[in-house]
Structure 1
């Protein structure tokens, strides 16, 4: 709700972007049946998120919101490429609050978007996430 309350303007075009899990490296060791199962699970989750985003946007008066699900190895890179493609003026992204140690080893999509984007980035922290 932070975006709607503090950033959104009626003239804004909202793009809701979800980058599905990348299975490339792990896929090499999976059986074809398991790989198909994982891709189907990812497709169903993406479809569920699309429906949730559409319902959310309609409920909050942002009926013209677009949903995109670019595929790629690095989620941060796909988000930046998509923002450049649609000529975004700002990127608003969530943060799961994974903590410094976990972020150091696993990386952070929001940190990478922040450091590589050519447009302003607003990171909304999940206040319910563990520190």
Structure 2
């Protein structure tokens, strides 16, 4: 009887440890687009807040749909196919760059391709995959340009219910001031 009671106690301790470990884990989504701003955001995350228990998702924000001209339906299928292949090649290049960067910083990760426009894609992915933290880079657009073009980081901040870290990049012209 004593052995049976001891086994039950061990099982309960193991379950409690698993629950505690699960609580330590957090899903972190880092938005990447191949820019120096995205690289800076990743490096900041890796250098400042990364935990080995994090499940890191590097989400490539594809803007193919937003870059197709309105006349895309009128171009030949071969031309459209070539455009898509070029975009896919660029995506593979970006994945390779960030895969190497993550390996260099000892960050276990997975790469995901997000298909919607970037802002809504990031927010939707975070909601669907129980993300606890989103990290994005900021291009530092001025007020007028941000108003006209919109800002992915602004969209994410205003449409998600999880913490967002926006990493600003120190451009060369800022260093001159």
Q: Scaled by the length of structure 1, what TM-score is found?
A: 0.88
Q: Which runs of 4+ in 1 moved over 2 A?
A: 22-34
Q: Rg larger in 1 or in 2?
A: 2
Q: 1:78-110: per-residue Cα shift (whole Å, max 9, x none)?
A: 111111222111100011112111111010111
Structure with a larger share of its residues in strand: 2
User: Is it true that 1:94 corresponds to 2:137 in the alignment?
Assistant: yes
Any residues of structure 2 matched to 1:1-131 within 5 Å, and which?
Answer: 1-23=43-65, 26=69, 27-62=72-107, 64-72=108-116, 74-128=117-171
How many positions carry a matched residue from both structures?
129
Structure with a larger share of its residues in helix: 2
Q: Scaled by the length of structure 2, what TM-score is found?
A: 0.67
Distance 1:120 1:52 in 2: 26
RMSD between superposed Cα atoms in Å: 1.8
Q: Which runs of 5+ in 1 are unaligned?
A: none
Distance 2:78 2:136 in 1: 34
